[in-house]
Amino acid sequence: MECKENLNISKLTSFKIGGEISRVYYPETVDEFIEVLKKEPNAFVAGNLSNVLVSSDGFDGALVLTKKLDKISIEGNVVTASAGVRGTKLSKLVLEKGLSGLEFMVAFPGSVGGEVFMNAGAHGQTIADVLRTATLYSPDEGVVTLSNKEMDFSYRTSVCQKKSYFVLEAEFLLESKSKEFIQGKMDENLQFRLNKQPSLTLPNCGSVFRNPTGDSAGRLLELCGAKEISSGDVKVWEGHANFIINYGQGTSLDVLTVMAEMKKRVKENFKIELRPEVRFLGGKNKKEVELCKMLYQM
């Protein structure tokens, strides 16, 4: 199994931010994944770091990247994909088979594991709408398969955020539709992203905060003047107040500082506590630790 030591991770993250990680593992099979988690029980597991802010000061621990767990099988309307499969790749593959249900993934930079973990969704579709079962690994229970109901999906969350479960594989039940219909929905989704979200060429981690119940984080942040918030080369995107862009040599502390100010303004103006969608990996920088306690209510 491939393992890289003292790897500078910045080029691999969507934010283009991050220091050295002590150990980075790339398992290619479920057995290798389990082997790593037994060896490194406190390892941080991610797909392709599209939704993770890594500290510029690095991380003294293990990181497991599932990008090499990339198997896909299709039998009729049932599609099974390993955790490391890119959502964009999967959505385009099922299009060729005339299968509908994953059109929302066409503009997602993340992988299946992360999308199941957080019940990702967009444009009226979510993972919960199409997932039939998920195969997970738990240090306490071993490999288990849970039904859609047992995954306890709700807005941007699943049982994986409540218990120590790691996604290994997801099984989706899709619908047969014409390729023209599916392509049309994908085109609409791509156009929406082009108009409402920053290009993937701009270093960002997607939506920064989850939408509070019955409202939009972007709307609240806009009303609070969040688009004026910046720290170093890190700024809130001028096109939508719930995105943060690294315009140059931004640091993780810059990002957390901007996030803290965004959260503070919404709380002061609307008495609403915004919850981050972005995950953080670090712990060596005291200022970052303090900001994280406030942001993540640790």
| Entry pTM | 0.93
Burial of 27 (0-12, 13-18, 19+ CB in 10 A): buried
Q: What is the model's pLDDT at position 181?
A: 96
What is the pLDDT, as a whole number, of residue 297? 85
Parts of the chain with a pLDDT under 70: 298
What pLDDT is stored for residue 48 in this prediction?
Answer: 87
Dist CA 282 CA 177 (whole Å): 45
pLDDT attached to residue 221: 98
Q: Which residues are catalytic?
A: 156, 207, 277
* Residue-level pLDDT at 298: 55
- Per-residue pLDDT, 273: 96
Q: Which domains are present in the chain?
A: 2-65 (3.30.43.10), 72-195 (3.30.465.10)
**Rounded to whole angstroms, how far apart are CA atoms 217 and 234?**
19
Position 124 scores a pLDDT of 81
* pLDDT at residue number 2: 95
